[in-house]
Structure 1
Amino acid sequence: MNASRNLLRTLQDLITLGPKTEKFNRIFDGIRVVASRKPGHIQCELDIDEKHLNRNDTLHGGMLTSLTDSVSTLALETNERKPSKSASVELSVSFLKAAKKGETLVIDAETVKLGRTLAFLSVEFRNKQNNELLATGKHTKFLS
Structure 2
Amino acid sequence: MTVIYKICPASAWQEARQARVFRGSPVDLADGFIHFSTAVQVADTAAKHFAGQDDLLLVAVRAEPLGKALRYEASRGGDLFPHLYGDLPLTAVRSAVPLPLGPDGRHAFPAEVTAPKPFDPAEEGWVEAFSDNYLSLVGPIWARPDETDNPPGQRRFGFLAEERHLNRNGMVHGGMVMTFADHALGLAARSVNRTHAQATVQLDTAFLSGVEEGEFVEARCRMLRETKSILFMSAEIAVGDRAVANATGLWKIRGPEATPRGSI
TM-score of the superposition, structure 2-length normalised? 0.44
Equivalent positions of 1:1-144 (< 5 A) are 12-15=128-131, 18=132, 23-34=133-144, 35-36=146-147, 37-79=150-192, 81-82=193-194, 84-128=196-240, 131-144=241-254
Q: Distance in 1 between matches of 2:181 and 2:233?
A: 9
Matched to 1:70, the amino acid is: H
Q: Displacement of 1:76 after TM fit?
A: 0.8
Name the structure with the higher helix share: 1
1:6 equivalent in structure 2 = none
Matched to 1:124, the amino acid is: E
Aligned-residue Cα RMSD (Å) equals 2.0
Q: Which runs of 5+ in 1 are unaligned?
A: 1-8
Number of aligned residue pairs: give it. 126
Q: Which runs of 5+ in 2 are unaligned?
A: 1-125, 255-264
Higher relative CO (Cα under 8 Å, sequence separation at least 6) belongs to: 1
* Shift >4 Å, 4+ stretches: none
- Listed one character per residue, the Cα deviations across residues 97-121 of structure 1 (whole Å, up to 9, x for unaligned) are 0010011111111211121011111
Q: Distance in 2 between matches of 1:45 and 1:13?
A: 9
Q: Once the two structures are aligned, what percentage of the paired residues are identical?
A: 21
Counterparts in 2 of 1:89 and 1:51: CA distance versus 1, 3 Å: same
Higher Cα Rg: structure 1 or 2? Answer: 2
2:53 equivalent in structure 1 = none
TM-score of the superposition, structure 1-length normalised? 0.78
Q: Which moved more, 1:37-46 or 1:85-94?
A: 37-46
Matched to 1:39, the amino acid is: P
Q: Distance in 1 between matches of 2:154 and 2:221?
A: 6
SS in 2 for 1:63: helix
